[in-house]
Amino acid sequence: MMIASHLTPGSLLAFSRVSRFFRSLVFTQRAESIWADVRRREGWQDSEAGGLTEVQLANLLDGDDCTVCQNYAYPFSDFRLRVRLCYPCIANLRRKGESISAEYWHLHPRAFECCLSTRKTWPDMTSELARGEDSIFFVPDVLKQSAELHRLEAEAIAQNQSPQPVSEAYVVSRAQYRHRAKHDARVWENHRRWLQDQADSKLALRKSLRRADISKRLLPLGFVDAE
């Protein structure tokens, strides 16, 4: 376990897949602190919104498999929707609200108010939808929130109560969650950019040192530096 505590979140996930024995070491309640320490050491801040285990958080922030199908085909972490998706799942499950409503006619009228959303477009994830366009949602989340609203209202009716207050309370609680999740996303996106800048700088330095070493060896042999 001492070795595991010195890995990155992504490396710790890979470590857990080596064998059942290694998986049993790190997929326990006692190991939660190790996952948290590893994540924090890499600069990833805690989630204010909560709702994710440390293992789920590790996969979102630094994993390499799709949240939905576990495909390893270069999945991308969408911090706004809190999912890591491969290309096929992005195409099928990351859609505008109007598209989802057209397919799932039974959605609760307030379902989208309870869902995480984003305006960042695929594939660059930096451009945003034009003003007036509907936001993008994760289809399973929309279905889940719709089902929860229907369930709460059904239980209220079964107890001879008005369904509106319970659904309103749920929408308010989800609005608070969405606000915290949006803050988490901004923090994580900034840290991801910082990590990428650091990686790019290290790569440029290695190339520069390699070039200098090659020039040092070849110039005495009569080769001329192209520059």
| pLDDT exceeds cutoff 80 at 66 | yes
**Which residues have CB under 8 Å from 192's CB, separation 6+?**
77, 79
What ranges do the domains of the chain cover? 1-48, 94-221
Cut 0.75: pTM above it? yes
Q: Each residue of 69-128: pLDDT tens digit?
A: 987 766 788 999 999 998 899 989 999 999 999 999 999 999 999 999 998 877 666 667
Averaged pLDDT score across all residues of the chain: 88
Residue ranges of alpha helices (H) inside the chain are: 9-16, 20-26, 32-41, 54-62, 87-93, 97-103, 139-158, 163-218
Tokens representing 46 are: 């805690």
